[in-house]
Structure 1
Amino acid sequence: MAKATKTNKTGASKLHSTKNPISENIRGSMVELLQTHLATSIDITYQTKQAHWNVKGMNFIAVHELFDDLHEVVEDYVDKIAERLTALGGQAHGTVQASAGNTILEPYPLDLVKSEDHLRRLADSYSAWSKAAQEGIEEASEAGDALTEDLLTEVARGLDKSIYFLESHFQS
């Protein structure tokens, strides 16, 4: 049976014991990397829902449904990131409170209404996470963790598609 994680003085969690062949040092750094992406994925999930619930305008239904579709896509990333993190022996910090303290995203404005404002703001958030995911791909590659690299590549590919869907509404 795996040992429970314990938190050290800095708040970082020790790893659960596992037969995963990656060294404990690399697993620890990948868990830290993935905690940031887990927090960011949870944050962007609810930024997208915030837009979905509050969007108004002439193209309401199309944008409302787009935001719901994007929400489902990023919600899938939440699960995949958390499962990879725990497979490496980490303890997923997946609460809203934990995510708020570890996301890379700027807070989402709560007063947005116009569809174009939501589209632009979400494009900024998706772009910021895409940049971080691409940096994470490089970090995982340098660490020799091909599976985390592959996961973040999948995430980055999906984020780029989402950015395209968002930006297409205001590009000409």
Structure 2
Amino acid sequence: MSTQKTIRQKAGTVESNPVRLDQDKAAQIIDALNSDLADAYVLYHQLHKHHWNVEGAEHLNIHRFLQEAYEEVELAADAIAERAQAIGGVPHASMQALSEAATVEPEDEDVYDIRTSLANDLEMYGDIIESYREHIELAERLGDYATAHMLREQIEDVEEHAHVIAHYLEDDTLVLDSATK
């Protein structure tokens, strides 16, 4: 770790911004974005865990879906962080700050069957969808239409992933259980 101590902007502060969003309004939006950023990283790691551990007859399709999902979450997190910086804030970057700002609970370290894992993912997606909706309303109410637009675009992907997971969790499958043979 570097011993350099030149700080350009202290974490938790809000500076003026080139988009001329009032600093008090920006501060509220940055708090919301840092929460979204933290939630994205919790989801990213959980999806990645399930990608690594998925087994069974549907392994390949679910493995690929989970990779696509966590890659899209990572892109969304990057956009969220860049928006927080653009409106004068400091996006959370340390594990401690992200952990403290997250509003979703990660699954523990154990490996579960894929149905349980996907159900846990779906629950987290639902919580994130609700949070996004609140943050879209906040950004619009405070006149930050660009942030609202960005979150609207992201919620489409989040909702689509939740929809796919819900389909994976349906009872209709081509794989026969040994008890049904």
Distance across 2 between alignment mates of 1:148 and 1:157: 15
Structure 1 residue 95 displacement after superposition: 2.7
Which digits, 9 at most, give the CA deviation of each residue in 1:75-115, with x for residues without a partner? 11011000000000111112333211111111213223311
Determine the structure 1 residue equivalent to 2:10: 6
Distance across 2 between alignment mates of 1:95 and 1:48: 20
Determine the structure 1 residue equivalent to 2:105: 106
Q: TM-score, normalised by structure 1?
A: 0.89
Matching residue's letter, 2:101: N
Which digits, 9 at most, give the CA deviation of each residue in 1:115-148, with x for residues without a partner? 1111111111111101100111111111111011
> Which one has a bigger Cα radius of gyration?
2
Partner SS state of residue 168, structure 1: helix
Determine the structure 2 residue equivalent to 1:71: 70
Determine the structure 1 residue equivalent to 2:163: 164
Change beyond 3 A, Cα 1:30–1:98: same
Which digits, 9 at most, give the CA deviation of each residue in 1:26-74, with x for residues without a partner? 1111111111011111111111101111122221111111111101111
Q: Which runs of 5+ in 1 are unaligned?
A: 8-12
Q: Which runs of 5+ in 2 are unaligned?
A: 1-6, 172-181
In the TM superposition, 1:3-152 aligns within 5 A as: 4-6=8-10, 13-152=12-151
Q: CA RMSD in A?
A: 1.5
CA contact 2:18–2:86 (8 Å) conserved in 1: no
CA contact 1:140–1:149 (8 Å) conserved in 2: yes
- Identical counterparts, % of pairs: 24
Determine the structure 1 residue equivalent to 2:177: none
Distance across 2 between alignment mates of 1:31 and 1:4: 18
Partner SS state of residue 101, structure 2: coil
Distance across 2 between alignment mates of 1:60 and 1:96: 31
Matching residue's letter, 1:127: G
Determine the structure 1 residue equivalent to 2:178: none
| Runs of 4 or more above 6 Å deviation | none
Distance across 1 between alignment mates of 2:62 and 2:97: 29
Matching residue's letter, 2:148: E
Determine the structure 2 residue equivalent to 1:153: 152
